[in-house]
Structure 1
Amino acid sequence: MDVNSLTLLVDILDAGNLSEAARRLKMSRANVSYHLNQLERSIGLQLVRRTTRRVEATEIGLQLYEHGRTIQNALLAARESVTTLGQSLQGRVRLSVPSGYGQLVMSDWLIAFKRLYPGIVLDVLFENRVEDLMRDEVDIAVRVMSEPPQNLVARDMGPVRYVACASPEFAASRGMPIRLDDLRTAPLITAAVVGRQLRVAAYLRDERHEVLLEPTIISENFLFLRQAVLAGLGVGLVPDYVVQDDLRRGDVVTALDEWRLSIFGTNMYLLYMPNRHHTRAAASFIEFILAQAHGSGRGVAA
């Protein structure tokens, strides 16, 4: 068994299937399969279980994966130390951020980071997909959720706060929700997950309640949702940062302020794969963004 064989096993399991591993390694699928078979033959044990779509590690395969990942990380760190010796911080960071939070809050942080480290390439995806975050070879993802996945490292960026809000004109003519159940019949303006029934979780001290919602305006574009609220088209159920300037000016009023409302989760998390080598660029980015989130003085939302 050699180092190349171990790191090949790591690449195959990280990719999830032989075809994707071949694409990433710029090899043929047959070549990848051949080297994997040779490794298993030399050990005398099956290292991965193959299905039509995925490969999964056996118990011994998982043990060798951990050893291979440690070796691969050490090699990457050594290579980076040599190539960046005497140079300013360089590299590429590929990240995925929620469309609303990314545009309205994180954009300023990303620009500040780029000014601080001009040699780092930022490759930013604005999306809200939550399943299989790392399938697009993303280094870092930012997502709102109640419980982060067990297979990822999750760094807490702060609580998520939603507000029920409307224009003063709408409040005067139609009235604002007084009870939580009033959200069932109010003309709601909010975001939703395609194919999933929309619910709002509401917390009052130690009590948790849940209400099914039927919005009349649905969008992942929070700037559009804000415009709809200001136009008096209904009650917005949006992250507080979307309307904070409008609240300050009195262009928007809120209701149900005694409740802590949440649609997609209660916290924002910065997520990345465990045991994956972080370049100096990625490590610097993680610490910079966490410092910005914790120093912003406000909660965050999707």
Structure 2
Amino acid sequence: MDVNALTLLVQILDAGNLSEAARRLKMSRANISYHLNQLEKSIGQQLVRRTTRRVEPTEIGLKLYEHGLRIQNELTAARESITTLGQRLQGRVRLSVPSGYGQLVMSPWLLDFKRHYPGIVLDVMFENRVEDLMRDEVDVAVRVLSEPPQNLVARDMGVVRYVACASRGFAESQGLPQQLDDLRTMPLITAAVIGRQLRVAAYWRDERHEVLLEPSLISENFLFLRQAIQAGLGIGLVPDYVVQDEVDRGEIVTSLDEWRLSIFGTHMHLLYMPNRHHTRAMATFIDFVLAKARGAVVA
């Protein structure tokens, strides 16, 4: 069986349709279709089911895909070993990080990584999207989630805790929330997901409570949210790392500290696809970031 034909099958199924596979491989759609037909003829069975939008593997097609994926990964690893032999570590890592955590916590880590491995290209996207998280242009993603997707490998980077907080001036003039239900009526500054009802989960020992929220100021930009809290515009409900320096200096004060608060999830996770080949650059990056996370004070 032709190894090139097997890897072509992998690329077709990864792309999802013949047109996208042709675009990625810089071949014509007709050429892609011809080679697929030839492979099916040599096997004597149908390998993919074609619809108007997608191609899906048959049972035999899925088995061949798994074999082809392993072969493709081994070939990639072999090429990498040859090209990097006697050279400094090189490669490219495409990374998606949350806007707030990425800027406030991870940025120094990423800069430190570049100082250690100048030959590795870091392509960093600061974004908060969860849908279609591990699309083709992303090797590694970092997200705060309560339960990571089952189809991804998830490495725990630590606990994320939210705090209810305000500027010292706001606290002295307007007061701080004393009960969870106070969050319903006070001017609230926080992030939200478009199209979803915002709610905070609050844990007291083994008890779980939930409060629906109606913020007066919403943004995905946590630096902006911090500015709004410092300006005395309301009660902030943000991850503790967003305001930790200001809390330490006494500029921002917190309340409801006996509660463990969460909006989007309780843990930060590093995510990647289980069947995607790990280049040396990607494996090195993952180990580096996890080591940094274990040494960081996130909670």
TM-score norm. by structure 1 comes to: 0.95
Match of 2:202 in 1: 202
Pairing 1:55–2:24 present:
no
CA–CA distance in structure 1, aligned partners of residues 197 and 37 of structure 2: 45
**Equivalents in 2 of 1:265, 1:50: separation in Å?**
39
Alpha-carbon separation, structure 2, partners of 1:255 and 1:230: 15
Flag the 1:34–1:286 CA change in 2: closer, same or farther, 3 A.
same
CA 1:204–1:17 in 2, change beyond 3 Å: closer, same or farther?
Answer: farther
SS in 2 for 1:20: helix
Partner in structure 2 of residue 221 of structure 1: 221
Q: Which moved more, 1:28-37 or 1:268-277?
A: 28-37
Equivalent in the alignment of 1:93? 93
Residues 100-249 of structure 1 correspond to what in structure 2 (within 5 A)? 100-249=100-249
2:202 and 2:259 in contact (8 A); partners too:
yes
What is the number of residues matched between the two proteins? 299
Residues 60-114 of structure 1, C-alpha deviations (whole Å, 9 max, x = no match): 2222111111101110111011111100000111111111111111110000000
| Equivalent in the alignment of 1:36 | 36
CA distance in 1, matches of 2:143, 2:110: 16
Q: Residues of 2 paired with 1:8 and 1:117: CA distance?
A: 33
Q: How does 1:249-288 map to 2 (within 5 A)?
A: 249-288=249-288
The residue aligned with 1:5 is: 5
1:180 aligned partner, one-letter code: L
**2:60 aligned counterpart, secondary structure:** helix
Deviation at 1:286, TM superposition (A): 0.4
After superposition, the C-alpha distances for 1:151-179 in whole angstroms (9 at most, x for unaligned) are 11111111111111001111122221111
Q: Which residue type is aligned with residue 101 of structure 1?
A: Y
- Give the Cα separation in 1 of the matches to 2:129 and 2:218: 16
1:37 Cα deviation after fit: 2.5
| Deviation of 1:150 (Å) | 1.1
Amino acid at match of 2:157: M
Uncovered stretches (5+) of structure 1, i.e. residues with no partner: none
Cα contact 2:160–2:298 (8 A) shared by 1: no
Q: SS of the counterpart of 2:64?
A: helix
CA distance in 2, matches of 1:182, 1:52: 53
Q: How many angstroms does 1:40 deviate by?
A: 2.3
Q: Helix, strand or coil: the match of 1:158? A: strand
What is the DSSP-based 3-state SS (H/G/I as helix, E as strand, rest coil) of the residue aligned with 1:269? strand
User: Deviations 1:195-234 (Å, cap 9, x if unpaired)?
Assistant: 1111111111111121111111111111110010011100
Cα distance in structure 1, aligned partners of 2:56 and 2:239? 39
1:118 match: secondary structure: coil
1:245 counterpart SS class? helix
- Aligned match of 1:78: 78
The alpha-carbon deviation at position 17 of structure 1 amounts to 2.3
Identical aligned residues as a percent: 82
Aligned equivalent of 1:66: 66
Structure 2 unmatched runs, 5+: none
The answer to which of 233-242 and 136-145 deviates more is 136-145
Larger mean Cα displacement after TM superposition, 206-215 or 75-84: 206-215
Q: Supply the distance in 2 between the matched residues of 1:53 and 1:160 (Cα, whole angstroms).
A: 40
Superposition CA RMSD, Å: 1.3
Q: Give the whole-Å Cα distance in 2 for the aligned partners of 1:244 and 1:273.
A: 33
Shift in CA distance, 181/94, structure 1 to aligned 2, threshold 3 Å: same
Greater Cα offset, 119-128 or 175-184: 175-184
TM-score normalised by structure 2 residue count: 0.96
The separation in 2 between residues aligned to 1:222 and 1:52, in whole angstroms, is 42
